[in-house]
Every structure is written in structure tokens, then in C-alpha cells.
Structure 1
């Protein structure tokens, strides 16, 4: 009986540790069993991104098996854009532009922060192609990873490796803009 309790306690400890490995985002737990959209809607830091994904009609796409790597800008990143930009992008007549911007934050595949570090060349860069067709580059600087858009603007990954059932999210502090 004692041995059974020890095994059960170890099993519960392991299960808790596995769950704890996925960080909270925007004050909400992120579940590896849920997809990108199901988790993102719970993050208080990603309400603008979620509204943009809905306006762009990308909800169904981001619920497919993927896998996808999403560099997810926080609300403050959208707020840092010039005044009126987000409101303008959310208008139906600007849907194509919004889709282009949002898909510039998505890379096909499940790319962890450790993979970025391992694949960075001698210059510290790892180059990727976004679903939009635009180039993204990740630069490793010490313990930090920065994602560069085609315009040379960089967003720092503030929370990495938020695993999803259909990929991974890396939270970034800037909106990446295609040319």
C-alpha cells in the first residue's frame, strides 16, 4: 500500500510538472491540449490580436492541425502603432492588408526557442519565411531572441515556447510589418 501511494504521488508530481512547463500568458493558463485560438482568447494581453484574427477571417486557419509558429504581439505592441492604425486595419475594406500583416507573424512548423538558438548561424541569425511569403529573421543575443521583419524592425520574444495542440506561440513586444 505504501509503495502504491509513493508511485501515485510521483505520478501526480510528474503530471503537475508537465502542466507547469507551459507558461501563463496574459494572466491565463495556456493548455497544450488547446489550439492557438482557444488559448489566445483567454490572454488579457492579446485582445487586439484576437480581434484582428477574427476581422481577418483567420480563426479557422489557426484552428487547423498546422503546425504553426506564431509570433504573437501583445496589446501594447498594437497600441504603439501610429494613432488610428488598428482601427483602420479592422475595417472590412482593409481585410487583405490585415491578413498580410497577421500572416507575417506566422511560420509553418513548430519552432521552439531552442531550435532557433541551435539553427542560428555564426552571425546569430536564423532566417524563416512567414506564411505571408515575407522574410523573418530571429537574432539570438545572449539569452534573448529578437524577431526582425523585412523592414529591420525587431520585436523581442518576451515569453517563449507556449506550446499548443497545433504549434507554438512566442509572445513578442512589437508588431512585425511586411514591406
Structure 2
């Protein structure tokens, strides 16, 4: 009797687990932009900057957003001390301006990015887009990875931190 009860419990838990997974998959429940970035070690500097700027809740919002995400190597190309300076509380406004310049309202997949000549950023500026020698450029940054999907948008990887004009 105990083994039959255990079998039924395991069976019930298994069915419940499969049902919840099916429900979650059907309803598109997956990681948002912040969670996707936080799960990738190449974006640890970006995630730290998003936290310092107080933009986590915004980028966890409904969106949709398109984020041109600079890698740790992109941040490392900035002049020495720049990242540390930007992460200080007194420089929050400048950091917010830089980070929101990397965000476009709406979900713009790579196939659509290449059709654009510019994109209006959440910061209010305009990022120039061009295709050169088979590479997609956003201002002076090269897109090195595309269409990383999140529940509230998409991430495209870039090799240089964009600076608002």
C-alpha cells in the first residue's frame, strides 16, 4: 500500500510538473532582458551598470525593448577609470543617458535592423545604422551577436559602448 501511494504521488507530481512547464512554455514565460544579460558572464559590467543606474525595474518591464548590449570587452575599451567613474552615484544621470542610448523601444530583430538607416533610442538620440562589408554597425560599434530573445524584447551584442551625441 505504501508503494502504491508513493507511485501515485510521484505520478501526480510528474503530471503537475509537466503541466506547469507546458503552461509556462505556451504563455511565453521565460527570462526578461535583465535576467538574460545577468545569465551571461560577458555582460557582467553591463548588468552592474544597469543596477547602478536604477534601470533594472524598467528593463524588467513589459517592453518590448531592443537592447544593443556592449560586452565586458567593450567596456574595457573605454579610457581607464571611465567605468568606475560612471558607476559612482553622483554620475547616475550620465550613466542613465549612456545606457538608455543602447535601448530602442519595440522588438527589432536583426533582419529588420539591417533595413534601417537609423534608430531612435529611449534616451532621445538617434543611433546611425549601416551595413559595411557584411557587418552591421550601430554608430561606431559592430554587431557581433543577434536575436538573443527575452520575454520582453531582444538583445543584440555590440563590441563598443555607444555614447550619446
Query: Which bin holds the TM-score, normalised by the shorter protein?
Result: 0.7 to 0.9
Q: How does 1:63-82 map to 2 (within 5 A)?
A: 63-82=60-79
State the distance in 2 between where 1:32 and 1:115 align: 24
Aligned residues: 138
* Aligned match of 1:20: none
Partner residue in 1 for 2:155: 169
- Deviation of 1:142 after TM superposition, in Å, equals 4.3
- Displacement, 1:143? 3.1
TM-score calculated relative to the size of structure 1: 0.74
In the other structure, the counterpart of 1:130 is: 121
SS state of the match for residue 56, structure 2? coil
How far 1:70 sits from its partner (Å)?
0.2
1:107 aligned residue (104, 107, 122) = 104
The residue aligned with 1:12 is none
> Structure 2: 5+ residue runs without aligned partners?
1-27
2:138 to 143, 147, 151: 147
Which residue number corresponds to residue 48 of structure 2? Answer: 51
Aligned partner of 1:26 in structure 2 is none
Instruction: Report the equivalent of 1:95.
Output: 92
Q: Shift of the alpha carbon at 1:116?
A: 1.8
Deviation at 1:33, TM superposition (A): 1.9
| Alpha carbons 1:32, 1:165 under 8 Å: kept | yes
Q: Which runs of 4+ in 1 moved over 4 A?
A: none
Shift of 1:141: 2.4
Kindly indicate whether the alpha-carbon contact (under 8 Å) linking 1:32 and 1:163 is maintained by their aligned counterparts in 2. no
| Alignment RMSD (CA, Å) | 1.4
